[in-house]
Structures are given as structure tokens and as C-alpha cells.
Amino acid sequence: MGISWNVNIIYALLLGTFSYGISLVFFIKALEGLGSFRTGVFFSLAPFIGAVTSLILLREWIGWVMFPATGLMVAGLWLMIEVKHSHLHVHEEMTHAHLHGHEDIHHRHVHSGTFQEPHVHEHTHLEKAHAHTHWPDTHHRHEHDS
């Protein structure tokens, strides 16, 4: 009993491998920028996007279980978008490199020469205490008092 390796199976394996690899890259980038909670909510949308795609392209019925699940996902998305907090917090001094622009209050540093927005380079954030609306991301990894 062997597997017949026709060209369609090989193409499907290549497409799956490439797609999975790209999704992991996006997932890791999202973890860095959005934080774990928001990334998890966005990543968990994939099955619903697949279900809607199968409904439209393949004309498959999604089943009754998808209705309450979709309602819960919509509620999760609403919470993710609406729930923000603001409080005084301290940013420790940090040196790192990542893609950024200078429109936010965390990246107002000087450059020598010309540069484009957004750009990547190593830069240092000095210790700073301030309050503004935020959620956990690269620059907001701090503890909250109970």
C-alpha cells in the first residue's frame, strides 16, 4: 500500500508548508507588536475566515455550532477593541531595534542624515514615567497592582 505522489500532492504540500511558515512569521511579529492577548484573538479568527470562505466558494453549510461560536468571537473582538486602560507607568531604559515611526510618544529621537518613515535601527529609550491609553505591546510590558 503506497502513496501515489502525483504533482498535485506535491503542490499541496509545498503550499501548506509555505503558508504555515508565513503564518508563524506574522504570529511572532504580532506578538511583538500587539501583545499576546490581542494576537490570540486575531489568530483565532482563522477558523471563522475559513468557514465563511467555504460557505461562499464551496457552498458548504457551516452548521448550527458556528452561530454561538461566531457570537462569542464577535464579543471577544469587541472587548479587544474597546477595553483599554490608562495609568501612570514607568518605562525602564531599553535599547533595541524594530520597525517604528516617530509619530508616537515612544520614538521621538533624533537622527543624523536622512531616513524614511517607518524604519528600523537600534535606538535607546530613556527611562520615562507617563500616563496614556495603552495595551500590552513591545513598550508596555509592566505589572499592574491588584
pLDDT digits (tens, 9 = 90+) for 83-134: 666 777 777 788 888 777 777 767 777 777 777 778 787 888 788 887 777 6
CB 127 within 8 A of CB 90: yes
Asked if pLDDT for residue 56 goes beyond 70, the answer is yes
Most confident of 2-16, 38-52, 86-100: 2-16
3-state secondary structure at position 58: coil
Model pLDDT, residue 53: 86
Is the link from the previous residue into 118 a cis peptide, with omega within 30 of 0? yes
In the chain, the percentage of residues whose pLDDT exceeds 90 is 6
Instruction: Quote the pLDDT of residue 17.
Output: 92
Sign of the dihedral through C-alpha 29, 34, 35, 38? negative
Which tops the pLDDT comparison, 21 or 97? Answer: 21
